[in-house]
Chain A
Amino acid sequence: AQTVTQSQPEMSVQEAETVTLSCTYDTSENNYYLFWYKQPPSRQMILVIRQEAYKQQNATENRFSVNFQKAAKSFSLKISDSQLGDTAMYFCAFMLNRDDKIIFGKGTRLHILP
């Protein structure tokens, strides 16, 4: 069975700083995808970034980038130049290429301080 672990329940950083959220996962499969979802106080989840396991290059989306270490089964999210609007709950998630379900971690609550 696949599992996703987020070891940081809560984090706070000052506005404009860079912050890294950690995620580890466990699987015996080779073909899968990893995701970071953002859930702001409004509660509506949105996809931040997606990484395909067979791609060595780390995915980036503007200020958001990942550090994907396949051998270590690690998938961290880096937010550069953090903004107040980045305050949210962030979920790391996993999906097998052959499956139809996403497995979510427990989340990291991120506070961006003015």
Chain B
Amino acid sequence: NAGVTQTPKFRVLKTGQSMTLLCAQDMNHEYMYWYRQDPGMGLRLIHYSVGEGTTAKGEVPDGYNVSRLKKQNFLLGLESAAPSQTSVYFCASSWGVNPTDTQYFGPGTRLTVL
């Protein structure tokens, strides 16, 4: 099993450009999450999904959109990138929402917005 994979690993955007980050998991997990990690800060939840076709807002959802058209994929979109969105983005997935359901993380995508 590949676990949780993220595409791309690195990306540089200009302000105002759009892009989509892809997260894929092969563990048949129901729950998927997108986090961002900024220097000196822990991970902050952007959006999450409790199942195919569902999405919900996390702590810092502004400027991002997500979609979960297939159970194994969770897409994070930036419609008009801003320098404040320069960050490392992590995707995670889990069986369920209970604290005993371990979240498995992807390797991250480093995004720079100029």
* Residues 15-54 of chain A, each 1 if its beta carbon lies under 8 Å from chain B, else 0: 0000000000000000011000000001111110010100
Residue from A32, A42, A91, A106 whose CB has the most chain B CB atoms within 10 Å:
A106
- Range, interface on chain A: 20 to 34
Contact among B41, B45, B103, B108 for A43, CB-based, below 8 A: B108
With the chains together, A91 CA to B43 CA distance in Å?
A: 9
Number of interface residues of B (CB under 8 A): 24
Per DSSP, chain B at the interface is: loop
Q: Chain A interface (Cβ within 8 Å of chain B)?
A: 4, 9, 32-33, 42-47, 50, 52, 91, 93, 95, 97, 100-107
Pull 23 A–B residue pairs with CB atoms less than 8 Å apart, ordered by A. Answer: A42-B107, A43-B90, A44-B105, A44-B107, A45-B90, A45-B92, A50-B99, A50-B102, A91-B43, A95-B99, A97-B99, A100-B48, A100-B50, A101-B45, A101-B48, A102-B45, A102-B103, A103-B42, A104-B42, A104-B43, A104-B44, A106-B42, A107-B42
